[in-house]
Structure 1
């Protein structure tokens, strides 16, 4: 491994692993076209130690440095990593990610600020839900289109079917820079992992970085199909028992298949082939 990619002494092994995974995620988002100039956010709890996969998991060990950890709160349960405000996702690296507390205060002597709109609801979610280790927010065209529609997400396609009963909504209040909105966003989520901010965009709440990524993938693909299907007129409905079966059988939630770990690891390997500089 190049010296530039070695762990700096100021970071613990667990924090450095989380930083590498989160930086990889930002590059993955950019590769998929999910970036929004210097805006939007993915935040990740700083773990104290790596935990093994869930019982019964058959997840295969990734290549050295690949895959993602099963993040759990440990030595730093109230510290989180987020992107530096001013950098494009392709410029985010493991070492320049900013560490903050639940109030958005920067921990340490970081060279970059954070976007105040970025941690308004992220902080409230992380602070209130102990298993909310990763929170994602994007402004992709199809997901915003669905958030702007009166109906919201339509459970009429393969991807949306896997999200049945998993989606909540929050009415638009403007730009999310007011701290008191964080509590209302959390109340609107009501324990669901996918929250669609009306007229705005999706918020994903994950037990792990990989799970959050898998949920974001489902929301993005479901929205793409819904928008593409709109000109066709009335869409064929999926019976509720079938929708419930899709949620139950989805590999994105199944620990026997890594609950998204394998998918994230595959995308990280792709990014490593394209631009491993995120590891710096």
Structure 2
């Protein structure tokens, strides 16, 4: 088991605000919609999420809103949130207490991938990291009731994420950094696959199940190093240059 020192709420706030800003720099935002959320250390059932109406590029550590599992504001701030947008996050956080961060996006590449019956194929090294680690959840319309929450959680299981059919993508991570890097890899894999499919006349090259599985095992190693451990400090340095103020 990989034991790490406990995180503080302020650390999580800064990382989550940074993840929003980095997502904006990557063009992952959808005006004021979609969410990144994170658990509040030491406060089971409480989470941090973006206030409704702010762009990703405007998010700061102090502007994040504390909500309960139902998306209800519990920090006394009175800041607005989009409770219907948190239903996915609340269900996942409740079912996966080891998860610190949930990222759900509507990026053009992710939405396009969600339209493909075959989903993500083992066609690139990016995709190998997620081989066998992505589930699928059928589209059921805008309303997300408790019955659909149960189905979504069941489809996720212990995986790293879901392709939400005709909707977008979702990943989870044991840290904000891990979730952000997994989404980065999913986005890169989707772009590579969709571009190849658009230009191919005789199909695209897909590696064998055995090779894809072996590459995944090589990627994750013995589990002592998580996605984001190496990359996150470098990404924060980029953010300090391009979008300072996220830690305020």
The answer (yes or no) to whether the contact 2:18–2:236 under 8 Å persists in 1 is: yes
The answer (yes or no) to whether the contact 1:25–1:268 under 8 Å persists in 2 is: no
Instruction: Find the counterpart in structure 1 of residue 36 from structure 2.
Output: 42
Structure 2: unaligned runs, 5 residues or longer: 1-6
1:17-56 equivalences under 5 Å are 17-47=11-41
Instruction: Find the counterpart in structure 2 of residue 61 from structure 1.
Output: none
The answer (yes or no) to whether the contact 2:72–2:83 under 8 Å persists in 1 is: no
- Is residue 205 of structure 2 the alignment partner of residue 236 of structure 1? yes
- Is residue 231 of structure 2 the alignment partner of residue 245 of structure 1? no
Instruction: Find the counterpart in structure 1 of residue 4 from structure 2.
Output: none
Q: Aligned residue pairs: how many?
A: 240
Superposed displacement of residue 179, structure 1: 4.0
1:82-121 equivalences under 5 Å are 82-121=49-88
Structure 1: unaligned runs, 5 residues or longer: 1-12, 48-74
The answer (yes or no) to whether the contact 1:123–1:182 under 8 Å persists in 2 is: no
Answer with 111-120 or 34-43: which moved more.
Answer: 111-120
The answer (yes or no) to whether the contact 1:169–1:195 under 8 Å persists in 2 is: yes
**Paired residue secondary structure (2:169):** strand
Answer with 216-225 or 269-278: which moved more.
Answer: 269-278
Deviations 1:66-124 (A, max 9, x none): xxxxxxxxx21211000010000011111110001112111122242111232111101
**Paired residue secondary structure (2:83):** coil
Instruction: Find the counterpart in structure 2 of residue 129 from structure 1.
Output: 96
Output the CA distance in 2 between the equivalents of 1:167 and 1:17: 28
Output the CA distance in 1 between the equivalents of 2:156 and 2:182: 15
Superposed displacement of residue 177, structure 1: 4.3
Superposed displacement of residue 181, structure 1: 2.1
Superposed displacement of residue 259, structure 1: 2.9
Output the CA distance in 2 between the equivalents of 1:264 and 1:17: 13
Instruction: Find the counterpart in structure 2 of residue 51 from structure 1.
Output: none
**Paired residue secondary structure (2:230):** helix
Q: CA RMSD in A?
A: 1.6
The answer (yes or no) to whether the contact 2:70–2:83 under 8 Å persists in 1 is: no
After TM superposition, the score normalised by the length of structure 2 is: 0.91
